[in-house]
Amino acid sequence: MIDSNPNYTHSLNFFLKNKCFYVKDSFNNIRKLIEDIHAYDFYIDKYQISHICLVDLSGVLHYFIYKDNSLSSINKFKLNILSKKIKNFSLYTLDDSLNVFFHINLNNKSSNIYHINFNFYNDTVSHNIIKNVSRYSQYKIKSSNNHLLCCYNDNSISSNSLISIYFNDLNKSWEKLNKLDTIYLLFKFCSSLKYE
């Protein structure tokens, strides 16, 4: 992955090769940062700090910042799931937190979406599981106006209905939208999608 943040003075290329996590700077200097990694994602903030989340092969989630050619550990914890089962690892930011998402397939019909929220200001970690997500349709997560929205097909409902929920940052939980909110947010969400 290459970040081409226009405010960033040097481009960085983070990549995974043979289960090792590397960084390559704009001067083509390559450094191995960590070994035994299954998945990662990163975000460069407006202060030019790289926020990196990694899952290692033992199932531990690590949160690092990379600044001034140095990698600093912020937090880590055991996920209690096999790392090789983790799919679609991704990051989203809110004003005060970094949000990690991935899913695990449970069987031929269902998945669970896992959400981990790292608060920048008080170093707290919260986690949520969105259960019974249909494996036959893609779930969508959108970050907009400091809100997170998730749309998915619920496998536990016979009609396989579209469910829309939002992350309440105050109580660190996912809540269902009322119908008016759902219509408005879904319209904004769908209009932001790029169709091929």
| pLDDT-based confidence at residue 157 (cuts at 50, 70, 90) | low
Range of the domain at 73: 1-80
- Whether residue 37 is found in the same domain as residue 99: no
Q: Can you tell me whether residue 194 is helix, strand or coil?
A: coil
**Which residue, chain included where needed, has tokens 């809100």?**
147
Rounded to 5°, the CA angle 135-138-141 comes to 125
- Whether residue 69 is found in the same domain as residue 127: no
- Whether residue 104 is found in the same domain as residue 131: yes
pTM, whole model, 2 decimals? 0.80
pLDDT tens by residue, 105-156: 998 889 999 999 998 888 888 999 999 898 877 889 988 777 898 988 888 7
The span from the CA of 51 to the CA of 49, in Å, is: 6
- Whether residue 137 is found in the same domain as residue 193: yes
**pLDDT above 90 as % of the chain:** 39
- Whether residue 2 is found in the same domain as residue 68: yes
Indicate if the alpha-carbon torsion angle 168, 166, 85, 111 is positive or negative: positive
